[in-house]
Structure 1
């Protein structure tokens, strides 16, 4: 690395102090980010899912219309994303991107894959489950598979990834064996995340008010032990050993953060962010040191425009809890 001459460094520091003292605006890259993002002003959108890519591109799904919206973390307004092939899907819930920059989303019985320009690359349809037609809810992408939860059936679906190709979406695990005495129709599988190796999944169940750990190698299922905390999560984000979850049932609405052990079997809830003006939050994304929380308005459909995403600081940022 080239060293800056001492005199030059001194002059630069003097100029910087002068600029700050004069109240001159900070560089464009240092400008503050919005606290609220408007997904749409169109009636009936009811945003549900969200993902933020490493470069700051935001994708939000619509439960009410089935469309996708796209924006940037530096811009408070999102716009419709021209994703082809969604006209016959009235509801889109989970949305994520993979390492290739493809946009994967689920709704109804279908998983769709689009490129950055909205071209439809693949559509995969889930089979009926033990209780009937699927209602795909959320998804997570590992290096070799896409795993999808089913709200209507106690089933996790899986599509294998080989190179650029995504295989058929097939029933992978009927989770009832983990808690056989619990009524099948009330599992209500919701958010799903995977660890960095793709060997462990965490699946939220609104009905059991718990998060379940699933091994992708042998399909062993166990309940994530969070002590006495009721944890019927909706959407979730897993960053190393820090679990971020949105709760909107059985607990005050908001973001709950837990620190987990190395095997993702036990943990402690360390933060409860429930003092923000959320409007039935459903899920969240993390980018930088900020959390982006969807305000769905699903408790009073079709809701009232504008439909928004709330951004807040990650309280664990810079600590050992969220490296």
Structure 2
């Protein structure tokens, strides 16, 4: 269900109509005749413990497992899925992003980031972002020649080189950023519309921040139409439209950013009876795909998990 507010909505779609049509092109015989016939619900393996989702230029969604860092790939045209990477004891996979070269960047929670081959699932590189205990490397986005990772338990971001060379850079957050103890702070992250900064959601108390990736200085984004984005988790941005997944509220709030990402105005909220603590989102065509983490359901090896698709607001 989509609850619309009376304000008019303006949205710039990245890539334009041509990119959307290209993304929806499917091979004859590979699935339904049109994207409107594609499934809108996707079962994951029992006991999977999902949290992150990534979708690239091709119609495949990737899901990480908090149980062992495994990766699962689903064909959006048919709903068919397969375990791409089996994971290993002690590994975790939360936030994910895929680039145009078929590299999958995975936040590993315990101070680790990994780069996988999205075709084979093989681990290509592993980065130790922090040697200290108690860190929660939570989400990731791509900006320029770096993959940027958030740390929910430390006031810093990590910049991982996207090429073969280069060292990990730790970026302390300053300015308006106030780190709170014993709760998750930084969570989802996306580039600003002008590509010069990063937007980070602070789950507690529910703020959006514009981060300068050169200096770490943050400016709190003023919210209009709603006081907070409490329980903010994954972010997705299309032009100046920002989608904020508010996990335990079972909704996605949709915001219009100004040109410099200093103000965000609430345009609408998306809810759906199939939401069961959605955590992160990714877009393909005219749909937003969300994974249900089911945090309020006690996990067992038999607990069922899945993802759903909803129309873009």
**TM-score bracket, shorter-length normalisation:** 0.7 to 0.9
Q: Which residue does the alignment assign to 2:202?
A: 205
Distance 1:292 1:281 in 2: 10
**Residue 169, structure 1, aligned to residue 168, structure 2:** yes
Aligned to 1:112: 114
Q: Distance in 1 between matches of 2:238 and 2:192?
A: 8
Distance 2:57 2:285 in 1: 9
Q: Give the structure 2 partner of residue 93 of structure 1.
A: 94
Match in the other structure for 1:15: none
Matching residue of 1:9? none
Q: Displacement of 1:136 after TM fit?
A: 0.7
Specify which of 121, 125, 132 is matched with residue 124 of structure 2.
121
Give yes or no for contact 1:47–1:307 (8 Å, CA) kept in 2.
Answer: yes
TM-score, normalised to structure 1, is 0.79
Per the alignment, do residues 196 and 210 of structure 1 end up closer, same or farther by CA in structure 2, a change over 3 Å counting?
Answer: closer
- Further displaced range: 266-275 or 195-204: 195-204
Paired residues for 1:298-317 under 5 Å: 298-302=295-299, 305-315=303-313
Work out the CA distance in 1 between the residues paired with 2:186 and 2:59: 29
Computed over aligned residues only, the root mean square deviation of the Cα atoms, in angstroms, reads: 2.2
Cα distance in 1 for partners of 2:149, 2:60 equals 23
Name 1:35's counterpart in structure 2: 40
Aligned pair partner of 2:252 in 247, 250, 255: 255
Residue 32 of structure 1: how far off its partner (Å)? 0.4
Residue correspondence of structure 1 range 63-102 to structure 2 within 5 A: 63-82=66-85, 86-102=87-103
Check conservation: 2:288, 2:312, Cα contact below 8 A.
Answer: yes
1:286 counterpart residue number: 283
Relative to structure 1, the CA distance from residue 311 to residue 30 in structure 2 (aligned partners, 3 Å threshold; closer, same or farther) is closer
Q: Give the TM-score taking structure 2 as reference length.
A: 0.82
Does the Cα contact within 8 Å between 1:187 and 1:208 map onto a contact in 2? no
Map Cα deviations across residues 122-143 of structure 1 (whole Å, 9 max, x no partner): 10011246xx432210001112
CA drift of 1:240 comes to 1.3
How do 1:140-219 and structure 2 match up within 5 A?
140-161=141-162, 164-165=163-164, 167-175=166-174, 177-180=175-178, 183-186=180-183, 188-195=185-192, 198-219=195-216
Q: Between Structure 1 and Structure 2, how many residues are aligned?
A: 278
Q: Which runs of 5+ in 2 are unaligned?
A: 1-30
Whether the 8 Å contact between 2:139 and 2:189 is mirrored in structure 1 is yes
CA separation of 1:294/1:165 partners in 2, compared to 1, >3 Å: closer, same or farther? Answer: same
Post-superposition offset of 1:278: 0.7
Contact 1:153 1:187 in 2 (8 A): no
TM-fit CA distance, 1:307? 0.9
Q: What 5-or-longer segments of structure 1 have no aligned partner?
A: 1-25, 316-323
2:237 alignment partner in structure 1: 238
> SS where residue 212 of structure 1 aligns?
strand
Contact map agreement 2:171 2:215 (CA 8 A) in 1: no
Supply the distance in 2 between the matched residues of 1:192 and 1:33 (Cα, whole angstroms): 28
Instruction: Supply the distance in 1 between the matched residues of 2:257 and 2:92 (Cα, whole angstroms).
Output: 33
Distance 1:48 1:27 in 2: 28
State the shift of 1:248 in Å.
2.3
